[in-house]
């Protein structure tokens, strides 16, 4: 029996919406005293959200937005100033020391800078949480062996952290976080210290862990590419509050806030290149062209509307920039086009006939 079968034996399918949330925030706020001042610093303000069992839930925001505090109230390292946080129906803020210790055995944590014990081998780093839980050595050896196989480090069991690459260290961190078979896995910027190729391999591993075990994953990041690659749903946090939340595809396709649009533009090509933005005018330019942004979503994302514009509508189309990708298995993309000013309305009508959305951004000479 291989490790996928053993570890996956307890796996559950992604939960239906009728199941109670694995994690629930109810109007959670967190205030910190400000040094040398009477005022307080607000880290979280009125946060309400629900994470379904078995899903991968991303939280994205810039530095200081409140992401890390949000994670810390889930595992009880911080207590809310107001509101409630529940994990598997248990209110975290109401637990005493023993209760918190029990809770934390059900919550694994992956850190940005790995937090491995330099004097311990890979094997002993992974087994450390089991030692703390009082497990016997044979049980520790069996569990660590499974996890080493899962993360692909069987040949590194006797190595020390200083002998490992960054990606290997993070694989050790993931194995250690899984040692006590947690129901929830928290990821604190787990890939931000890694290069892009290693980041992809770590995200692939987390997806595999989620599929095999059904563990609920909450990850915080400032990189929208990470959200795009792994998350089922995403919350955008700013100033301590959730300003936008939904399925990843929906947020990418229809961002509602300036912050979400900025994050989405960083990976979808929806942003306007700087040189083009500088040349845009809000008013038509004599002999100029209208600049249109077309959003490609759903089944119509690959519709041949460009050829329709050129042949059937007789519109001369210039492609300024574009990107077509897949999010959650569905096509998604953006195109920036230039058409004659007098053809702008006709071009947008054709776009809508094909079930796509478009908007005019301005005019260029």
pLDDT score at 37: 64
**Exposure on the CB side of residue 302, measured as CA atoms within 13 A:** 5
pLDDT score at 11: 40
Helix (H) / strand (E) containing 204: helix 196-213
Helix (H) / strand (E) containing 261: helix 258-268
- What DSSP state is assigned to residue 286? T
pLDDT score at 109: 95
Q: Can you give the pLDDT of all 365 residues of the chain as single tens digits?
A: 455 444 543 443 444 446 789 999 999 999 988 776 667 889 999 999 999 999 999 999 999 999 999 999 999 999 999 999 999 999 999 898 899 999 998 999 999 999 999 999 999 999 999 999 999 999 999 999 999 999 999 999 999 999 999 999 999 999 999 999 999 999 999 999 899 999 999 999 999 999 999 999 999 999 999 999 999 999 999 999 999 999 999 998 889 999 998 998 888 767 788 888 889 999 998 888 999 999 888 777 777 778 888 887 889 899 998 888 888 778 888 889 999 999 999 999 988 888 888 899 999 98
The three-state secondary structure class of 277 is helix
pLDDT score at 38: 66
Contacts (Cβ under 8 Å, ≥6 apart) of 190: 110, 111, 112, 170, 173, 174, 202, 206, 219
The token duo for 83 is: 């509101």
pLDDT score at 7: 53
Closest among 106, 113, 42, 35 to 75, alpha carbons compared: 106
Per DSSP, which regions of 52-203 are E strands? Answer: 56-60, 82-87, 90-91, 107-110, 184-188
Tokens 């490992």, located at residue: 164
The three-state secondary structure class of 109 is strand
Domains belonging to the chain, first-starting first, are 3-106+182-266 (3.40.50.300), 269-364 (3.30.70.260)
For residues 291 and 363, what is the distance between their CA atoms, to the nearest angstrom? Answer: 6
Q: Are strands 56-60 and 318-327 parallel, antiparallel or unpaired?
A: unpaired
pLDDT score at 187: 96
């Amino acid at each position: 029996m291989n490790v996928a079968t053993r570890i996956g034996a307890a796996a559950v399918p992604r939960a239906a919406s009728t199941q109670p949330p694995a994690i629930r925030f109810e109007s959670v706020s967190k205030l910190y005293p400000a040094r040398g001042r009477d005022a307080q610093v607000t880290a979280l303000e009125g946060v309400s959200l629900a994470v379904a069992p078995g899903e991968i839930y991303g939280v994205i925001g810039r530095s200081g937005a409140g992401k890390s505090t949000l994670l810390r109230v889930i595992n009880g390292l911080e207590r809310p100033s107001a509101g409630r946080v529940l994990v598997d129906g248990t209110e975290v803020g109401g637990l005493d020391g023993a209760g918190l210790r029990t809770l934390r055995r059900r919550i694994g944590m992956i850190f940005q800078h790995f937090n491995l014990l330099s004097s311990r081998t890979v094997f002993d780093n992974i087994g450390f949480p089991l030692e703390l839980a009082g497990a016997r050595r044979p049980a520790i050896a069996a569990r660590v062996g499974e996890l080493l196989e899962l993360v692909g480090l069987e040949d590194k069991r006797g190595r020390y952290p200083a002998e490992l690459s960054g990606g290997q260290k993070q694989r050790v961190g993931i194995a250690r976080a899984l040692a006590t078979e947690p129901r929830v896995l928290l990821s604190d910027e787990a890939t931000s210290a890694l290069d892009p190729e290693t980041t992809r391999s770590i995200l692939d591993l987390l997806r595999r862990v989620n599929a095999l075990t059904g563990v609920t994953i909450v990850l915080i990041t400032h990189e929208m590419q990470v959200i795009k690659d792994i998350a089922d749903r995403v919350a955008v946090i700013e100033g301590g509050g959730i300003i936008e939340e939904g399925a990843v595809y929906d947020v990418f396709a229809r961002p509602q806030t300036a912050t979400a649009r900025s994050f989405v533009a960083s990976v979808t090509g929806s942003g306007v290149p700087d040189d083009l933005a500088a040349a845009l005018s809000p008013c038509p330019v004599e002999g100029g062209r209208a600049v249109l942004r077309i959003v490609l979503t759903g089944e119509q994302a690959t519709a041949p509307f460009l050829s329709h514009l050129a042949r059937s509508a007789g519109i001369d189309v210039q492609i300024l920039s574009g990107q077509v990708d897949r999010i959650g298995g569905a096509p998604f993309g953006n195109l920036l086009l230039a058409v004659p000013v007098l053809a702008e309305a006709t071009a947008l009508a054709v776009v809508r006939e094909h079930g796509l959305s478009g908007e005019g951004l301005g005019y260029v000479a």
